[in-house]
Chains A and B, each alone.
Chain A
Amino acid sequence: MALALRLQKSPMPGFGLGMGITLAMLSLVVILPVVALLARGVSYGPEAVWATINTPRVWAALYLSFRLAFLAALFNLVFGSLLAWVLARYDFPGRRLIDAFVDLPFALPTAVAGIALTALYAPNGTFGSIAKSLDGKIAYTQWGILIALIFVGLPFVTRTVQPVIAEIEQEVEEASATLGAGRFYTMRRVILPMLLPAALTGFALSLARAVGEYGSVIFIAGNLPMKTEIAPLLIVIKLEEFDYGGAAAIGIAMLVISFSMLLVINLIQIWSRRRIGHV
C-alpha cells in the first residue's frame, strides 16, 4: 500500500489523528482481511485455486450470479431511469411519498426482503399463484433470483439519474424543439446522452450490489446445484465443510470478475463523458 503521504503545508490541525484513525480502521476492517483472503489463495496454490474454480458446479454458479446480476442491473437501468424521469418531471398526488418509497430496498434488511419475496412468489403466494394458474413458477427458479436482485438494486439508478434530470436546463430542450426536433427525437438525441454517465454509475452500483447479494436471494432461489445456486452460497457451503482454501478460491474469482466488470464500466463512463462533454 504505497500511500505517499506528502502533506502540503496547512495551518489546519488534526492531520495525524485523522489519518491515524482512518488508516487504522481501514487496515483492520478492510485491507488486512482482503490481504488474508488473497494470501490464502497464494498459499493454497494457483493450481489448486484453478482446480476449485474449474468445476462445472462452480462455473455454473459464477455464470448464474453474474448473468442474473447483469440482467437485473439492465432492468434497473431502464425502469430506474423511467422512475427518475417521472419523479423529477411530473407532478401528481403523492409524488413526494412515492419518492421516499423508492429507497425502501435500502432500508429493508435483505433477509426480510428475502422471506417476503418468497412468500409473495411461492406457488401459494399472491403472485406465485397467478403464475401457477398460468402453468409458470417464479420462486425456486432463476426468475425468483432475478426478482430479488432487481429489488435490492432498484434505487441506485433512480438516485443517480434524478438529480441530473433536475439540473437539465429546459432551454436545451426548447432549442432542440425550435430546430424542428420532435419530442421523441429530443429525448433520444439530447436528453438521454446527458443522462448516460449518471445512469451508468447507477448501473455499476446496482450490478456490484446484485453480484454479491446473498440474503435476499437464498430464500427464493431454491439453491439447486447447477440450476439455482449462486456463487456466494457456494462460498458458504465450502466454509461449512471447513474447506477454507476452496472458499478463498471462489471468493478471489468473484473479486477478480467484479473488479474487471467495474473497470470496463468505468472506461465506458469516461468514454461517454468525453464524447458528450462535461455533464
Chain B
Amino acid sequence: MKMNIISALLYILLAPLAGALMDGVGRKISARMQGRIGPPILQSYYDVRKLLGKQVIAVSPLQSFLLISYLVLMVLTGALFFSGSDILLSIFVLSTAATFLYFSTVITSSPYNTIAASRELIQIMAYEPAVILACVGFYLAAGSFQVDEIASTNTCMLLYTPGFFAAFVFILTIKMRKSPFDVSTSHHAHQELVKGVTTEMGARNLALYSIAEWYENVFLMGMAGLFVINSHWWSIPLTALLVMATFFLEILIDNSNARMKWENMFRLSWEVTLLAAGVNLLILMLIR
C-alpha cells in the first residue's frame, strides 16, 4: 500500500520532467531524421516557461477552468495507473479528461476550434476500442484488472497479447498526436486548422495544455511498458527497451507519413483494432 502511494507521488512529481524531456528528445530525433540540428533537449520546458509569463488573452473565462480540470484528471489517470489500481478506472478517467479538453475547445465557438473539436471526438471514437480491448487482454492474460497484479505475474504479457499490443501501438499515434493521424491538432505549421484544438489557447492556457500532454505521454508509455513488465528482474531493462523502441517508432511514423483524412484514420484504426486485437481475443479465449 505504502509503495503504491509513493509510486503515485513519484509520477505526479517526475512525469512533467520526463514528459518534457521526452518531448525534447522527440523533437531532436525528428530534426535529425530530417537532416537538421534541431532545438535543445529542454526546448519544451523553455516554451512552457515563456508561455506562463505572457499576457493572458482568453476568449472565454471558462476555458482556464476546463483546462485545469483536464490537467487534474490527466494527473489522476496516471496516478491511479502508477499506484497499481484498477486499469479500467484509469482508462475511464482518461476518457473524462478527453471530454474536458473537448469542452474547453467548443466553448470558444471559433470556427477552427469547432471543426477541431468534432475531429477530437472522432479521434476518441477511433482509439477508444483498442484501449478498452488492451485492458480486456490484460484481464484474460493475467486474470486481473489491477495494474500491480498484472505487473507481478510470472510471464511477459506480450507473449499472450501481441495483437492487443499491435493495436495499442497503432492507436498510440492518434493519442500522441503524431502524423498521419494528427487531425485535431496540427503541430506542423501551415495546416488547414491553424492549430486545431489549441488555436484559441494562448499563454497560461497553452502551458496547462502542454503540461497535461506531458503527463499523458508518460502514462501512455507506462501502459506500453505494462505489456512486458513482470516479476523477474530482467523485465525491467526489457520494459525500458520496449518503451524506447515504441517511442522511436512513433517518431518514425510521424516523419514518414503525410496527414490522412479523418475517414481513413477512423476506418484504419478500427480495422487494425478488430483484426489484431479481435483475433488475439478469440485465441486467448480459446486457449484459456
The answer to whether A and B interact is: no
Measured CB to CB, the residues of A under 8 A from B are none
Measured CB to CB, the residues of B under 8 A from A are none
